Structure formats: C-alpha cells, structure tokens
Amino acid sequence: MSQHEASLPGKARLAGIAANGWKPLFLRWLTLPTAAVSALLIGAAIIAVMGANPLTGYHALLTGAFGGSYALTSTAVKAVPLLLVGIGICISFRANVLNIGGEGQIVMGGLAGAATALALPNLPKIVLIPLVLLAGCVGGGIWGAIPGIFKAYRNVNEVLSTIMLNLVAVQLMNYLLAGPMIDKSESFAVVGRIPQTRLLSPNSWLPIIVPGTQLHLGVVIAVLVAVAVYVLLRRTGVGFRIRSVGLSTDASRYAGMAVKRTTAMALTLSGAMCGMAGAMLVFGSISHRMVTDGTLSGFTGSDGYYGIVVALFGGLNPLWTILSAFLFGGLLVGGVSMGIALNVPYSSDLVTTIVGLVVCFVVALDAVRRRANLQSGPASLRQLLTRNWRAPADSGPRAAPVPAIQPAIEAAVPLPPPPVPELTPADPGEALP
C-alpha cells in the first residue's frame, strides 16, 4: 500500500480496500505464493529433464518441510539462524546499509560462543546458555562494528568491507579450529586431526523443548528477539534514529542526530544478530561442537545470504520475517528430503537451483506487486501489467518517491502522509499525463 494509505487508521484502510476492490488485496497476498509455485513448476521441468520424478521430489519437499511434527520442528530449527540474520538485515537495511557480511559475522559469533563454552564449561546452565548467546552477539557485533565504523567515519563502502571481512573470518575460523581451539582428546588424535572443538559442555547445549525432536530453546529465543527488535525499531529512540538515517542522512543530520554513530550502531547490531545466529548454530547443533570443513558455507549453510532474502521477503519487518524465515527454512529442509527422495547423485545441486529460482521469482513478482500498490490499485490486471512498462496513463494521486533499497517499509513504517496535491479548476499547471 502507499505511504498515504499505510498511515490511515485501521477502519479507513479497510474502507479503502473495499473501495478499490478485492483485486489489490488478492494481488498483495497471493502474488508471492504464485511466484513460489511458478518457480517450483520450472524446477519440476528441470527435474524431469534431468531424468528424475518431479512428483516424488515435491512430495518429499512438502512432507520433509511441513509433513508431521518431526518435519515441522526441523524446519523451525533451520529457521532460527535465518530469522536472526534476517532481523539483523532488517536493522541494517533500515539504516540504508547493505550488510553482506552475514556469513563472517555468523562465524565470529560461533567462535566467540564456542570459546566461551570451552573456557567456562562448569557454569550452571542458567548462566552459561545466556552467556554463550551473549558472547555470540559480541563476536558478531565486533565483526559488524568494524565495517560500521569504517563506513561511518572513513566512508569505506560497506559492500567492500563486509565481503572482505567474510574472507578474513573463514581463515580465522580455520586457524582457530585447527589450532588453539582444537579437540586434543585421545580419540581424535589417532589419525590426523579434525578441525573441530572438543565436545562442548552439556551446560551450554540449548535445551530441547519438545522431547524426541530437535526443537530447542533457540526457537523461542529467536522469536522473542524478533519481537524485541520490532519494538526497538518502532518505539525506541535508537530505532527511530536508525530508520531516520536510512531515509535521509541529511534530514537526520539537520535534526541533530548523530548520523555516523547511528550508522555504525546499525551495522554493529546487525552483526550482533548474525553472531547470535552463529552461536545458535553451534549450541543447537546435533554434534554439539563447532567443526569446519574449511569453507564459510560449510558452517553457516549460506545463512548469511539466505537471511538477506528472508528479511526482504518479510518486508524488512522483524515480525513478518518470522514467517518468511519459517517458510524459507521449510524450503531448505524440504530440499534435503527432496534430494534423498530423488535419489540422483547431483540432487543437492538441483535443490540449490530450485531455491535460487524461487528467490528470483519471488523477488520479481514482489516488485510487480509493489509497483501496483504504489499506484493505488489498478482497475484491472491488464492495467497493472501495462503500467509497469511505460508511463502510467491514468494514475491517481502520485505517491511520494520511495527509496528503493527499502521496498516495503511504506507498509510497515508509516510516515506522516505527504501533502496530496490539490487539484483546483483554476490550476492548469497540474496536468494529468
């Protein structure tokens, strides 16, 4: 919906929807699932061409993701780091900072958490678990603060510094896990060394809240964090400054805000969230160790990139991000099951391809949907399609320009409504194109 609409109180919004007809609502809610399904159809075609059975595959995808309590809990557990990274991205993107360093921040958080658990294994559970999660925040926060400070105070572009810091983080992880933090216990010393830590203290394991499944406390914590960050962004001074700086650094500066500090703070908080995701990965894992195979994605599962996708699908709103993280987690978890069901050796690549297609389709159709909403509801689908390709022939009152890096914040963060241009008969200059 346009910024104007979003600021209206509930009843007026409903009235507006009723007036515009059901089509905009239809478009808003069903475009995204349509996109996902379209991508999956293309995926089915690819599966068929490669010689496997798409029906078997997709059946396994859906049942592996959502079919039964075990699947649902696996999806929820997979969604935890996605959600946390997504929340971090919500924060940084609101401040107009592109945080591509999620992968490295996850790793640093994991390392910090693991180091804490190795150093203080005998603390009681009630102290150790929050402590390791906090350590994860600190580790990731530092890794976010570095590019944050570089950007704020030295104008080093964050895309560059975060990508470079990812590279540094993986080497640091390899060095620490094969060196100072390695498991020196007998059973592994026999044949070569495995770059992993000792079994971490059971006091640090995230407790399973549904016995018989993998569902651990981290799920609850992540949801609470999502709510907390939502409140932070909407209701606190810090959040206001972050959003304000994201919309206009000049205006914020004139308003007396510490723009540089806020920018650095946004990246730091973003990193902290990713760091907590890393700690969750370590302490919620089946193996209860931190282990590396030498690559970033071996530990993170590319959550640093998927989290960006999840955040943007959630409209940069931490609460919606909970849902999109769950759905995306389902796609990834179901993908493993699909791989097993398809039973061809290259199935993991196949699943990756389909995930990529889903992302592309959803992001493309989401853009179409947003353009439709910006122009206050087309009268027909046909108008919607033609409108995007050339200048609108009969648009209504024009919405204020929207900074494109924050696509859907107009839906979630109402700003004061822009002045609607008043059309008077005596004003020939206000021409409708």
Q: Which of residues 49-88 bind other proteins (CB under 8 A)?
A: 50-51, 53, 55-56, 58-60, 62-64, 70, 74, 78
* Region of residue 207 (left: phi > 0; alpha: psi -120 to 50; beta: else): beta
Identify which of residues 59 and 125 has a Cβ nearer to other proteins in the complex: 59
Residues 383-422 touching other proteins, rule: CB under 8 A, are 385-386, 388-389, 391-392, 395, 398-399, 401-405, 407
Query: Taking CB under 8 A as the rule, does residue 10 contact other proteins?
Result: no
The stretch near other proteins (CB under 8 A) out of 3-11, 17-25, 336-344, 411-419 is: 336-344
Sort 42 into a burial class: Cβ within 10 Å, 0-12 / 13-18 / 19+: middle
The number of residues that bind other proteins (CB under 8 A) is 121
The stretch near other proteins (CB under 8 A) out of 12-20, 124-132, 258-266, 353-361 is: 353-361
Give how far Cα 304 sits from Cα of 104, 171, 361, Å: 8, 17, 20
Query: Taking CB under 8 A as the rule, does residue 248 contact other proteins?
Result: no
> In the complex, what is the shortest distance from the CB of residue 38 to other proteins, in angstroms, rounded to a whole number?
7
Residues 174-233 touching other proteins, rule: CB under 8 A, are 174-175, 178-179, 187-188, 190-196, 199
Query: Taking CB under 8 A as the rule, does residue 142 contact other proteins?
Result: no
The stretch near other proteins (CB under 8 A) out of 7-15, 117-125, 270-278, 379-387 is: 379-387
- Distance between CA atoms of residues 143 and 172, nearest Å: 12
Query: Taking CB under 8 A as the rule, does residue 171 contact other proteins?
Result: yes
Each residue 11-50 as x (binds other proteins by CB under 8 A) or -, in order, gives -------------------x---x--xx--x--------x
Confirm if 199 and 186 have CB atoms less than 8 A apart: no
Query: Taking CB under 8 A as the rule, does residue 118 contact other proteins?
Result: no
Identify which of residues 25 and 41 has a Cβ nearer to other proteins in the complex: 41
The stretch near other proteins (CB under 8 A) out of 127-135, 155-163, 230-238, 414-422 is: 155-163
Query: Taking CB under 8 A as the rule, does residue 355 contact other proteins?
Result: yes
Identify which of residues 30 and 228 has a Cβ nearer to other proteins in the complex: 30
Identify which of residues 244 and 285 has a Cβ nearer to other proteins in the complex: 285
Confirm if 313 and 228 have CB atoms less than 8 A apart: no
CA angle, residues 268, 269, 270, in degrees to nearest 5: 90
Confirm if 282 and 198 have CB atoms less than 8 A apart: no
Sort 418 into a burial class: Cβ within 10 Å, 0-12 / 13-18 / 19+: middle
Identify which of residues 243 and 288 has a Cβ nearer to other proteins in the complex: 288
CA dihedral (251, 253, 257, 262) positive or negative: positive
The stretch near other proteins (CB under 8 A) out of 106-114, 226-234, 245-253, 292-300 is: 292-300
R_g of the chain computed on alpha carbons: 24
Compute, in degrees rounded to 10, the torsion defined by CA atoms 31, 36, 37, 38: 80
> In the complex, what is the shortest distance from the CB of residue 48 to other proteins, in angstroms, rounded to a whole number?
13
> In the complex, what is the shortest distance from the CB of residue 287 to other proteins, in angstroms, rounded to a whole number?
3
Amino acid sitting at position 429: G
Identify which of residues 135 and 374 has a Cβ nearer to other proteins in the complex: 374
Confirm if 358 and 112 have CB atoms less than 8 A apart: no
